[in-house]
Chains A and B, each alone.
Chain A
Amino acid sequence: MAEIVLDGVSKRYPDGTTAVHDINLTIADREFVILVGPSGCGKSTTLNMIAGLEEISSGELRIDGERVNERAPRDRDIAMVFQSYALYPHMTVRENMAFPLTLAKLPKPEVAAKVGHAAQLLDLTALLDRKPANLSGGQRQRVAMGRAIVRDPKAFLMDEPLSNLDAKLRVQMRTSIARLQKRLGTTTVYVTHDQTEAMTLGDRIVIMYSGVVQQVGPPEELYDRPANLFVAGFIGSPSMNLLPAQVRDDGLHTIIGVIPHRSRGLPPEVVAGIRPEAFQDTRIRGGASFTDTVDILESMGAEKIAYFTFETGETGESGGTAFGDGAQVVARLDPKSRAREGEPATLWYDPAAVHIFDPDSGVNLTA
């Protein structure tokens, strides 16, 4: 069990790319932290620096208060689960799981006991004598987990451990990983680019974008109070509607009409962010509304997703455009909604639920 501290950690590759820029992060003992962000934002690099597989260019990494920058991976007592599982193909499942223990020169009976225990925990007992080549993807994933948990390390690092599984298995494994982590109480850093995985799994989420941490916080906080445009667009599915707005005395002028809002203290141009689930097609007392033709209606069973397209005349800048120069607005409606494709619908929202961002810096002015 351990506390991991990244103190101004940066990574510059020899070719000059700065993959990670000045991360400050304290991961508490027993905490489950998710690193999330788009491809190439430096998640794996960060994880590899914690692991010791990648050198730290500047800053300090402390585990339990001790500086470990210069320590080899094997002296950090950290286990890692790789995206490709990286099972040793020439060893059986048993040998794979026993490998870290035999390297640590544990006595044989103890190795057998620990492997047996981990196998039981992961439901691998029947597969112990198989080779990795004869396992399914999900089973391989569990063996990789088993190899990580047998030696009871200070921390687990997982780099997209579920991304090679099919959707259903991924959801299943997601809950088992969460349960396992709670049960073992081992500090865990988990990398993913899937925001659903991030939202459901972690105690805290670290959102990264091009090597820079954008926001750190529990899932609800990132959802309710995104620090900037990037976080706002990244968290939530479908993602937040981001509409360019002119600030006037009566409120914010956008393509969906005027959003009533005090204009004092706001720059003349802002970006208004409304979550798709902030809309509903029944009246809200004191709410604002807009009426437009439903472009596309997707029935998901538990919800309906309605798409509206607004002609803007201008290109670019209109956040979230998908079709040419029209701006798109997405609404997530109740399954009982009477909205029909091709017919006009009136949607209501609470102006207090609108996030306002500075268009230049991206900073959330309402949070």
Chain B
Amino acid sequence: MKLRWGFIDVLVILYALIPVLWIVSLSFKDPSTITDGSLLPTKWTLSNYAGIFRNDDFLRGLVNSIGIGLISTFVAMVFGTMAAYAIARLAFPGKRLLIGFSLLIAMFPQISLVTPLFQIERSLGLFDTWPGLILPYITFALPLTIYTLSAFFKEIPAELERAAKMDGATPFQAFWKVIVPLAVPGMVTTAILAFIFCWNDFLFAISLTSTSAARTAPATISFFTGSSQFEDPTGSIAAAAVVITIPIVIFVLFFQRRIVAGLTAGAVKG
């Protein structure tokens, strides 16, 4: 039984990791051996990496990605936290409507918004600017943050806030000094998810930009060309793909310890 599960585990991991390995392998292959079909590069080279870091458009794309991703995540977190806290704790008119609405946004097919957004942003002068991408990213990251965060807030006993109020805290102090510290694991998890969403987006990035002024890394990669018109940019694309994966991996590893749950242990009788 154990063996069988182990086998299935290995199978799943291989299924998930082989494409990644393949990309990594491609990124180290010399252009002449790209099509040799072997998993291990026969001729190792770093020239793909050197090439993309000499490419100003890609560097600019990275900067755009990081900047737009961080700003969107930050804004979505600030508003998402407040909305989620209200949803978790307060009974207010229109609460169900708000929840339903944010669910609706999360489900909405983004592709159907691209054309109207394109038109709107062009007439507002937002096309091909950072805010032009940040706004739709916030829109689509918010339902995600509201949902995950309100689940986290609901797990924090309401009696803690009542205790804080009795101890002399204002509602904001109770939120800031008691609830937020306890919700940190949830907030970090949510922020990572929101950031990954912005970081991975291709659709908006490709359709709402026209120059490297706001074009993010994934979109930039699609504009890669070989060094001559007869050369395939596969190696550079692979190298760029590896590079844009690294920040996510670092992010998750760095915050892994904070993402552990169970910080609320001992609050109430246990």
Contact = CB atoms under 8 A, between A and B. Distances in A.
A133 B266 contact: yes
Given A84-B269, A147-B163, 16 more contacts: A53-B165, A53-B166, A74-B168, A74-B169, A86-B157, A86-B268, A90-B182, A100-B167, A100-B168, A103-B167, A103-B168, A103-B169, A131-B266, A132-B266, A132-B267, A133-B270
Interface in A56-89: 72-74, 78-80, 82, 84-89
Given A73-B166, A79-B166, A103-B169, A84 B268 contact: yes
Contacts of A151: 168
A164 B269 contact: yes
Contacts of A133: 265-266, 270
Contact of A80 (B160, B166, B270): B166
Interface string A323-366: 00000000000000000000000000000000000000000000
Interface string B50-82: 000000000000000000000000000000000
Contact of B159 (A51, A84, A99, A140): A84
A74 B269 contact: no
A89 B155 CA distance: 13
Contacts of A80: 162-163, 166
A89 B266 contact: yes
B167 A134 contact: no
A137 interface: yes
A78 B166 contact: yes
Interface string B145-187: 0000000000001011011111111100100011001100000
Given A73-B165, A100-B167, A134 B266 contact: yes
Given A53-B162, A90-B263, A85 B169 contact: no
Given A85-B268, A85-B269, A100-B167, A90 B162 contact: no
Given A80-B166, A100-B167, A103-B169, A86 B266 contact: no
A184 interface: no
B168 A86 contact: no
Interface in A35-71: 51-53
Contacts of A90: 181-182, 263
